[in-house]
Structure 1
Amino acid sequence: MFQSKEYILKKHGQNGTDRAYYLKQLTEEYKKTDEQEAKQQVLANLANFAYDPINFNMLWDLEVVDLFLEATTSQDPLLQEFGMGGLANICLDPTYPTNTIVNAMTTLMQLITEENYTDILTQDLYQCLQKVKGDQRKQVNTMASLFLLDYYHQI
């Protein structure tokens, strides 16, 4: 769920966890670890953080989007999934350029094969596409609608 700065401050107090510091730690852990399961867990966490607009600037500043992109070419199907999930989530950033959102959806469509169909076409992606479909930018709206029609068989 999207959280405001006020909500976070109220929940965690003045001395609560510093979100920027925590995201930086996760990013550094992902880059340093050689353990595959740890990489998967960290990237999954970063992808989840990419869903909340309060984290957008921090993730861009930490170049986490590059980690998501890198993961899409990994041999590990879970890293691919979490990388695409992170990209799908951060595409909701309203400052994100239209062409990049459309290109991300096009790339994702091209990555779908019979072998990974169920891994990529998750309920989370469906929900993300539903939100993107409501975007006021015509190209983004049209592409999300086509994606939903072609792969989820509904508009």
Structure 2
Amino acid sequence: MFSSFDRLKKRTPNEGINRREYISLLVDEYYETNNLEAQQQVTANLANFAYDPINWNFLKSSKAHELFVEILNCSIDLSLLIHAAAGICNLCLDTEFSEYVRRGGVLKQIKFLIGKYSKNTELIAHLLTILIYLNNEPIEDDFRQLCETLRTGSNRLITNLVNVFMEDYVTQSRRLFSNQKVLTLCRTFREEDLLRFAEFTGDSNPIHQHKTAQHRFVNGALLNAVTAGIIGSNFPGHVVTSQEFRFPKRCRLDEEAVFTVKVENLRKIVSVSYYCKQGGQTVFVGSAKLFAMKL
């Protein structure tokens, strides 16, 4: 049950210490004592106070939020880590604090701790919840693999939290983009690009290997591949389900080409249009539909 300021006032004796002072004293006690059990009791109390939004400003003014982060970064005591993670989890909805966590590199440490303490349900549940609320970073391959391992485990709570986190990551591009959002990339193709592409694909068509440079032009599939790179890097977790494209003009070597991808629709099936221009002429134009896969 959340408190109100009137309720706090009624519960505080006339000669008693108000909530702000009490929280500040708890933080001081943590730093003044060398007794681990006392520190554990302090952090448990602070984490409990973080449950109620009425205490958030008191916790921030007393630097309790910084203490939570410090413990995650430095402590090896499991109880302290659980209390700090619980406190951060409870404070996640505070805008100022959430930005503090994102800017401070804490999310990287949280991912490290999830790997280190993957068998501790209580700690992992708090850490995953923090990521669900605050993560705005790409998921590295090794952490993605860890999430897959956790998701296929026997712990139903952890499985559900990982599912929520991964599904949220897959669809985050929908929050980052709006309809009519435009993405652009400039690229100048060189002879070595055509040679590497021909070697990889086996495309030995002489129209791309003409002895005279002015008669050589860029493979259409290479233009499409660059466009696919723009789409894939900006819509993580999505796959292309259909495409339509054409090549109105030839794309020449050693001249800048500008690729443009435009978001047309951000529903369950994402629609994008795209084109590539060189010297004011359209050399490649098309559209695609994308679908978000569960990672």
TM-score scaled by length of structure 2: 0.40
**RCO greater where, 1 or 2, for CA within 8 Å and sep 6 or more?**
1
Change (3 A) 1:111 1:65: same
How far did 1:97 drift? 4.4
Does the 8 Å contact 2:68/2:87 carry over to 1? yes
Give yes or no for contact 2:110–2:127 (8 Å, CA) kept in 1. no
Answer yes or no: is the 8 Å Cα contact 1:40–1:79 preserved in 2.
Answer: yes
SS in 1 for 2:20: helix
Unmatched 5+ residue regions in structure 1? none
Which aligned pairs between 1:141-152 and structure 2 lie closer than 5 A?
151=158, 152=161
Task: Measure the CA separation in 1 of the matches of 2:59 and 2:68.
Answer: 11
Report the Cα distance in structure 2 between the residues aligned to 1:98 and 1:68, rounded to whole angstroms: 15
Residue correspondence of structure 1 range 8-87 to structure 2 within 5 A: 8-10=8-10, 12=11, 15=14, 17-72=17-72, 73-87=74-88
CA–CA separation in structure 1 for the residues paired with 2:2 and 2:48? 11
> Aligned partners of 1:110 and 1:153: how far apart in 2?
15
Shift in Å, 1:4: 1.4
Within the alignment, does 1:120 sit opposite 2:123 as a pair?
yes
Q: Percent identity?
A: 33
Report the equivalent of 1:100: 101
**Displacement of 1:95:** 3.5
Indicate if the aligned counterparts of 1:24 and 1:62 stay in contact, CA closer than 8 A. yes
Task: Give the 3 Å change call, closer, same or farther, for CA 97–67 of structure 1 in structure 2.
Answer: closer
Deviation of 1:50 (Å) = 1.5
Deviations 1:35-70 (CA, angstroms, capped at 9, x unpaired): 111101101111111121111111111111221112
**Larger mean Cα displacement after TM superposition, 95-104 or 69-78:** 95-104
What is the aligned residue count?
144
Aligned 8 A contact 1:88 1:104 in 2: no
Write out per-residue CA displacement over residues 65-124 of structure 1, whole angstroms, 9 at most, x where no aligned residue.
2211121121211111111221121122133345735965554233113644324134x6
Give the direction of change, closer, same or farther, for the CA distance of 1:82–1:61 in structure 2 (3 Å limit).
same
Residues 3 and 54, structure 1, Cα contact 8 Å, conserved in 2? yes
On the 8 A contact 1:98/1:139 being kept in 2, the answer is: no
1-structure distance, mates of 2:106, 2:113: 11
Task: Give the structure with the higher percent strand.
Answer: 2
Alignment check: 8 A CA contact 2:92 2:130 kept: no
TM-score (norm 1): 0.70
Q: Which has the higher helix share?
A: 1
CA contact (8 A) 1:91 1:101 kept: no
